[in-house]
């Protein structure tokens, strides 16, 4: 009888520990967006993958940051002096709590709104649109640039909040619309988040 009680206690503790551990697993960007997905979304050829991850620490506000992007072969997002002809990148900020993620989202929205109103800002005059039906909150930032005459680029950024995750999804297209691609990609990523 004592062994049965001990066995039930150990099994119950194990189930509790596993469920607590499963709840603490943080999503990473590379698990939510594949190169195959990127090709289907923005077209090809691609071939250049950018990934990075920063584990949560006290110094970064316990923000687990992960980034995954897909670009044309040879394009280095960290050294580039112009946007890619096509590309898609997701950046996740997995926080400790939903309240922390919501606060981060709200600060990001306010900061972007301020940048669109500021004279001389690279975002001056860009359009911010609230998005319904995407997580708990979402907005779209649309940007059009022309680094040289006859070479227009569209950049669409969707920021969204779901649970303890705040995400930024960017899509770049040269001489083509990027907004619908960004919205569809955000919906796909949201469906994969816990």
Which domains, ranges and CATH numbers included, belong to the chain? Answer: 27-192 (3.40.1000.70)
Whole-number Å distance between alpha carbons of 60 and 71 = 28
Q: Encode pLDDT of 122-158 as tens digits.
A: 888 898 999 999 999 999 999 998 888 888 999 999 9
Side-chain-facing half-sphere of 133: CA atoms under 13 Å: 4
pLDDT band at 6 (very low <50, low <70, confident <90, very high): very low
Per-residue model confidence (pLDDT) at position 122: 81
Q: The tokens of 174 are what?
A: 């040269």
Question: Helical H runs in 83-139?
Answer: 98-117
- Is the pLDDT at 86 greater than 90? The verdict is yes
Per-residue model confidence (pLDDT) at position 187: 96
Bridge partners of residue 91, in order along the sequence: 67, 168
Per-residue model confidence (pLDDT) at position 170: 97
Asked if 160 and 170 touch (Cβ cutoff 8 Å), the reply is no
Q: Encode pLDDT of 150-192 as tens digits.
A: 889 999 999 999 999 999 999 999 999 999 999 999 999 999 9
Whole-number Å distance between alpha carbons of 60 and 143 = 29
- Is the pLDDT at 31 greater than 80? The verdict is yes
Per-residue model confidence (pLDDT) at position 18: 33
Whole-number Å distance between alpha carbons of 72 and 50 = 11
Whole-number Å distance between alpha carbons of 158 and 162 = 13
Contacts of 74 (CB under 8 A, 6+ apart): 48
């Amino acid at each position: 009888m004592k062994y049965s009680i001990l066995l039930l206690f150990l099994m119950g503790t194990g189930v509790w520990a596993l469920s607590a551990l499963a709840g603490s697993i943080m999503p990473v960007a590379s698990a939510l967006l594949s190169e195959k997905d990127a090709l289907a979304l923005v077209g090809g050829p691609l071939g250049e993958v950018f990934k990075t991850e920063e584990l949560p620490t006290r110094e970064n506000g316990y923000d687990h940051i992960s980034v995954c992007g897909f670009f044309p072969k040879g394009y280095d997002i960290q050294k580039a002096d112009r946007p890619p002809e096509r590309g898609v990148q997701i950046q996740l900020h997995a926080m400790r709590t939903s309240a922390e993620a919501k606060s981060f989202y709200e600060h990001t929205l306010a900061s972007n709104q301020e940048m669109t109103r500021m004279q001389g800002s690279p975002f001056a005059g860009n359009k911010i649109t609230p998005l319904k039906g995407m997580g708990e909150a979402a907005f779209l930032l649309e940007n059009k640039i022309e680094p040289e005459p006859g070479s227009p680029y569209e950049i669409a950024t969707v920021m969204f909040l779901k649970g303890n995750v705040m995400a930024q999804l960017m899509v770049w297209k040269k001489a083509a619309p990027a907004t619908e691609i960004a919205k569809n990609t955000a919906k796909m990523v949201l469906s994969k988040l816990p």
